[in-house]
Amino acid sequence: MSKYVTVSLDKRGVSCVAQLLEDVAPRTCKAVWDALPLSAPVFHGKYARNEIYTLLPGFAAADPGKENTTVTPIPGDLCWFSFDSDDLGNPAYGYENTTGTGTTGAIVDLAVFYGRNNLLINGDQGWVPGTVFGAIVDNLDGFAAACQDLWMGGARGETLSFDRRD
């Protein structure tokens, strides 16, 4: 039986439903499912284009590794990226920690892609493939409108949440 998650922008009061893609990303789906609920401040992508994401401390017993990867996510894709503080320590990214700590596997980026023409390339690192672990199956249009509002209206005070859907 398929598993579903609710993805929400809490302050804006909008959510969508995504199906976990356990057949092509089983390790990643298990890591996310076992950790739910998850919630943290949201960011809008600078490089990938139509992307919102949140950064979480590593929550899986072991990093699931790459599976079902892409550098060209489509609207409705949920992606997992693993970083360490040195990957995100460049002040150009705008995060508070700009020094890096040398940790590995410490930061999980859960991303939602809501529009077309995304390209996962970073000026400092080159291609950044992500694991596609879910696909939005309900309310992509409404969620996309809220994501566009996040881009134009700002992310301050907004959270991105993931929870099990029964």
What is the band of 28 on the pLDDT scale with cuts at 50, 70, 90? very high
Say whether 89 sits in a helix, a strand or coil.
Answer: coil
- List the one residue out of 142, 134, 132, 124 whose CA is nearest residue 46: 124
**pLDDT tens for each residue of 81-127:** 998 766 665 555 555 554 444 555 478 999 999 999 999 987 777 88
Instruction: Give the distance from CA 122 to its chain's centroid.
Output: 16
The whole-number pLDDT of residue 76 equals 98
Element (H, E) at 20: strand 14-20
The whole-number pLDDT of residue 87 equals 65
The whole-number pLDDT of residue 134 equals 98
- Look over the chain and give the mean of its residue pLDDT values, rounded to a whole number: 89
Domains detected in the chain: 4-165 (2.40.100.20)
